[in-house]
């Protein structure tokens, strides 16, 4: 009696391991991007005016929430 190899769902063991690895990699990359976007905060200090020799500064902070939805 000859042994037959059963192929499940059109792929071999090697191919589903590769697909699983790619899905895990894509999930981790998405998670890293979401963390960077949520923790991103940029601050810039500008000199608004100078009175005599004393500069008056304004500090502006940009966060991810300030980004428009349709950019």
Task: Evaluate if residue 58 carries a pLDDT over 60.
Answer: yes
Arithmetic mean of pLDDT, 58-71: 69
According to the model, what pLDDT value does residue 2 have? 63
Half-sphere exposure in the Cβ direction for 63 (13 Å, CA): 3
5-47 pLDDT, tens digit each? 655 555 677 888 899 999 999 999 999 988 887 787 788 888 8
- pLDDT beyond 80 at 1: no
Q: Which helix H or strand E contains 50, and what residues bound it?
A: strand 41-51
Give the residue-averaged pLDDT of 44-67: 83
Which pTM value belongs to this model? 0.50
Phi, psi of 47 (to 5 degrees): -85, 115
pLDDT at 20: 92
State the Cα–Cα distance between residues 6 and 14, nearest whole angstrom.
Answer: 14
Q: State how far the alpha carbon of 62 is from the alpha carbons of 19, 42, 45, in Å.
A: 39, 5, 12
């Amino acid at each position: 009696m000859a042994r037959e190899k059963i192929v499940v769902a059109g792929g071999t063991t090697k191919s589903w391991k590769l697909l699983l690895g790619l899905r895990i990699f894509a999930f981790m990359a998405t998670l890293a991007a979401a963390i960077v976007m949520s923790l991103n905060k940029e601050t810039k200090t500008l000199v608004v005016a100078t009175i005599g020799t004393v500069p008056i500064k304004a500090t502006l902070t940009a966060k991810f929430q300030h980004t428009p939805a349709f950019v």
